[in-house]
């Protein structure tokens, strides 16, 4: 947290938020605050209520009870009101227009929220270029978004938020489809923007990232805040325990007998044109083998990398 953040009035306050879908209670009296330049992680297991809380914050879903205020002003169930008040939510699909260029996507919200409906194209293109420069990101402003790799799309979504003068950026599971170096780059950008006073609510399951970038953490379990506080008060065990409600045993499991048995499924040198090349795979009795790979745009006529462990 920067100096401005510590002890300052929260820029965002969510008070006693409650939400149920029919008989299912999704959120129970949730409180969350964010100060200027603070990066807060919203952590919790699948189904703990994180996305619902974000949707209530952005005005897309209405709460059954409770209040959301931005800069001391109460927000209603009003997505445009939330955007013009400086809130920007980046969902996992980034909500970009694939057939429009990078600059058209970055300038899109300004064309909608600006009082000047005819906000000039040249001015929006200039704004997009300046915003990418501010983020120290090199992306061709005229490239169609659909041709960009996932990591660049995400940076375009952040640039769109900044171009629209977002003061709070909410990112729902932003690193799921990124490589290690792309995650590191994203975290650098978050840290730099935080120094400019931008606040972040960062939804993540990934413990390493939480410790790398967040100042504070709020843990949701079954729709309730079980613990919150500065990240310095947590270690991995405490955080995982808060998320799962179970204590963690991080002992290594002994090597199972199955791992030294002969494989009952073995493949070697498998290939399929345009998909993968030279894949070896073995599966032994009692073993769980995961096949992992990155999301990548299909390159015409070239095989995609594929890894198996
Ligand atoms: N529109 C809906 N109608 C009914 N139940 C819903 C609806 N949206 C969410 N839920 C339920 O609310 C609970 C919380 O869901 P939510 O998506 O907020 O969790 P989450 O913490 O974001 O999970 P994940 O980590 O999987 O994204 C879940 O039990 C989910 O099934
Ligand atoms: Mg979710």
CB neighbours of residue 261 within 10 Å: 12
Closest CA to 50 of 252, 246, 218: 218
Supply the pLDDT for residue 63: 96
Whether 174 maps to a domain, the answer reads: yes
111 φ, ψ to 5°? -70, -25
Lookup result for tokens 């927000």: 75
Which ligand 1 atom lies nearest to the CA of residue 220? 21
Whether 268 maps to a domain, the answer reads: no
Domain extent at residue 120: 3-244
pLDDT at 245 > cutoff 70: yes
- Measure the CA–CA gap between 199 and 171, rounded to whole angstroms: 11
Distance from the alpha carbon of residue 193 to the mean position of ligand 1, in angstroms: 30
Q: Is 50 in the pocket of ligand 1 (CB under 6 A)?
A: yes
Whether 274 maps to a domain, the answer reads: no
Asked which of 41-55, 63-77, 196-210, 284-298 is least confident by mean pLDDT, the reply is 284-298
Residue 47: CB partners within 8 Å, gap ≥ 6?
Answer: none
- Measure the CA–CA gap between 126 and 128, rounded to whole angstroms: 5
Supply the pLDDT for residue 302: 42
CA-nearest residue for atom 29, ligand 1, is 47
Domain total in the chain: 1
Q: Would you list the DSSP string of 127-174?
A: HHHHHHHHTT----TTSBGGGS-HHHHHHHHHHHHHHTT-SEEEEEST
Supply the pLDDT for residue 77: 82
Which ligand 1 atom lies nearest to the CA of residue 52? 18
Whether 9 maps to a domain, the answer reads: yes
Supply the pLDDT for residue 179: 82
**192-237 per-position pLDDT tens digit:** 999 999 999 999 878 888 898 999 999 999 999 999 999 999 999 9
Supply the pLDDT for residue 2: 46
CATH classification at residue 141? 3.40.50.300
pLDDT at 129 > cutoff 50: yes
Whether 236 maps to a domain, the answer reads: yes
Whether 219 maps to a domain, the answer reads: yes
Whether 133 maps to a domain, the answer reads: yes
CA-nearest residue for atom 18, ligand 1, is 49
Pocket test for ligand 1, best of 26, 171, 203 (most atoms within 8 A of CB): 26
Supply the pLDDT for residue 120: 79
Whether 254 maps to a domain, the answer reads: no
- Measure the CA–CA gap between 221 and 47, rounded to whole angstroms: 9
pTM as predicted: 0.80
- Measure the CA–CA gap between 65 and 30, rounded to whole angstroms: 10
The 3-state secondary structure of 259-300 reads HHCCCCEEEEEEEECCCEEEEEEEECCCCCCCEECCCCCCCC
Q: Is 51 in the pocket of ligand 1 (CB under 6 A)?
A: yes
Supply the pLDDT for residue 93: 83
């Amino acid at each position: 947290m920067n100096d401005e953040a510590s002890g300052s009035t929260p820029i965002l306050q969510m008070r006693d938020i409650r939400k149920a879908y029919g008989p299912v209670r999704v959120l129970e009296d949730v409180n969350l605050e964010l100060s200027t330049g603070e990066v807060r992680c919203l952590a919790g297991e699948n189904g703990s209520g994180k996305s619902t809380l974000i949707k209530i914050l952005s005005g897309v879903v209405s709460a059954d009870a409770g209040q959301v205020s931005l800069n001391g002003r109460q927000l209603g169930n009003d997505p445009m009101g939330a955007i013009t008040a400086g809130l920007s939510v980046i969902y996992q699909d980034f909500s970009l227009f694939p057939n429009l260029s990078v600059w058209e996507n970055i300038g899109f919200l300004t064309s909608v929220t600006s009082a000047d409906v005819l906000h000039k194209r040249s001015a929006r293109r200039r704004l997009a270029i300046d915003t990418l420069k501010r983020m120290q990101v090199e992306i061709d402003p005229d490239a169609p978004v659909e041709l960009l790799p996932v990591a660049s799309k995400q940076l375009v979504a952040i640039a769109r938020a900044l171009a629209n003068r977002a003061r709070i950026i909410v990112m729902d599971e932003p690193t799921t489809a990124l490589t290690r170096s792309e995650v590191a780059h994203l975290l650098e950008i978050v840290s730099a923007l935080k120094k400019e006073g931008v606040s972040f609510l960062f939804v993540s399951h990934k413990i390493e990232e939480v410790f790398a970038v967040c100042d504070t953490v709020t843990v949701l379990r079954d729709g309730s805040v079980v613990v919150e506080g500065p990240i310095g008060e947590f270690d991995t065990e405490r955080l995982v325990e808060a998320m799962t409600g179970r204590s963690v045993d991080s002992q290594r499991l002994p090597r199972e007998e199955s791992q030294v048995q002969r494989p009952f499924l073995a493949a070697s040198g498998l290939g399929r044109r345009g998909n993968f090349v030279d894949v070896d795979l073995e599966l032994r009795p009692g073993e769980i083998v995961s096949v992992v790979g990155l999301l990548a745009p299909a390159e015409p006529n070239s095989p995609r990398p594929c890894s198996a462990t």
